[in-house]
Chains A and B, each alone.
Chain A
Amino acid sequence: MSDDHVYMTLAEGHEDDARWAYGTGFEDPLHGVDTTVPEGVDAGRLAADCVALADDALVSAQRLAEWTTRAPELEEEVALANIGLDLLGQARLLYARAGQVDGTGRDEDAYAYFRDAEDFGNVRLAELPCGDFAFSIVRLLVLSSWRLAHFEQLSAHPDPVLAAIAAKGVKELTYHRQYAAEWAVRLGDGTEESRRRTRTAMEQVAPYLGELFTAYDVRDEVVAVLRQVTEAAGLPMPVYRPLPGAGRAGEHTEHLAPLLAELQSVARAHPGATW
């Protein structure tokens, strides 16, 4: 057959330019960054902070993955996957850093697959089920704005690895926030039905805002974003009535355990196996 040459060129070294959406890259963004923990930085605290942020990202990515084959339009399949992949990438880097500095030498999979729900430090908003598209969008808006505001501060962190991870994350999160904001406005100011669902989503998210601001002091930034979006959409601001308890302290809703059971099922069925 005369097509051999075309097939051969496919088998050759794979250049980047064809991979238009192939995840967040498999090159190491921490290449060249000095990995020793600097003087004055508490290694235990650094590790705990990294793990908490990684848990947020992993759990969020898991919920976004649940939209696969269920998104409201094919273009949104691609967009949600991009966001999920970005967050998964952030989780991987953060877990790796934690393993380097907490003295255990654990790898990313040890954190993701072999810890139980009460050891996870993600905020509860991240673990809530997907709900409808309006809920997922409003949740994404809040979490991305919150994480972005915190990452902007973290870019100046004395640990160079965490600072590098945060700097890369800022670009990604800026896009996530923009995507969510545009959709929140479309849904808030769309049809009667979408408006109703968006208001409901905001009411459902509101009780979980409190613990975000306890974790990081970025309330002003997040509220400013919400104000901008609700004004553009012609919606009322969500009423702030925080629920007691905190994911950061291992206090979770009933939704985290089943999420982790699914996430960890195959890995735990084959302990010690390499994939």
Chain B
Amino acid sequence: MSDIGPGAAQGTGKGDWPLYEVFVRGKRGLNHVHVGSLHAADDAMALTHARDLYTRRNEGVSIWVVRSEHIAASTRDEKDPFFAPSADKVYRHPTFYDIPDDVPHI
């Protein structure tokens, strides 16, 4: 989500199309990756534009488009308590538990 800015000021013209963020999962990918943004008047147009701009015409590629204004994001500047350190909660770390070596798949 690192490429999404604090929210572009919306143009005031009646022909200004809102900003969409584009996420693509490739044929062999495991999850959607943010690839950039574009302007479109509606969701269908956003998908069409995303297809033209960010993918080659491969079947099986999945595209998500989301209005930028609908994305809530954290900032690097935020400190505690948002990213509460889990160092003091050792039971969340696997090394806390003493498992014998011969137990499989652990």
Contact = CB atoms under 8 A, between A and B. Distances in A.
Direct contact of A and B (CB under 8 A): yes
B53 interface: yes
Given A79-B48, A179-B48, A182-B44, A21 B39 contact: no
Contact of B53 (A16, A75, A182): A75
Nearest to A183: B45
B53 A78 contact: yes
A19 B56 contact: yes
Interface residues of B, number: 15
Contacts of B53: 20-21, 75, 78
B48 A182 contact: yes
Describe A's contact surface by its main secondary structure.
Answer: helix
Contacts of B40: 75
Contacts of A78: 49, 52-53
Interface string A101-119: 0000000000000000000
Nearest to B49: A75
A21 B52 contact: yes
Nearest to B41: A186
A141 to B, nearest CB: 15
Given A171-B57, A182-B44, A182-B45, A73 B39 contact: yes
Interface in B36-50: 38-41, 44-45, 48-49
Contacts of B49: 75, 78-79
A179 B56 CA distance: 16
- Name the interface size band of chain A: 10 to 19
A171 B59 CA distance: 10
B55 interface: yes
A75 B54 contact: no
Interface of A: 16, 19-21, 73, 75, 78-79, 82, 171, 175, 178-179, 182, 186
Q: Which 3 A-B pairs have the closest CB atoms?
A: A75-B49, A78-B52, A79-B52
30 contacts: A19-B56, A20-B53, A20-B54, A20-B55, A21-B52, A21-B53, A21-B56, A73-B17, A73-B39, A75-B38, A75-B39, A75-B40, A75-B49, A75-B52, A75-B53, A78-B49, A78-B52, A78-B53, A79-B48, A79-B52, A82-B52, A171-B57, A175-B57, A178-B48, A179-B48, A182-B44, A182-B45, A182-B48, A186-B41, A186-B45
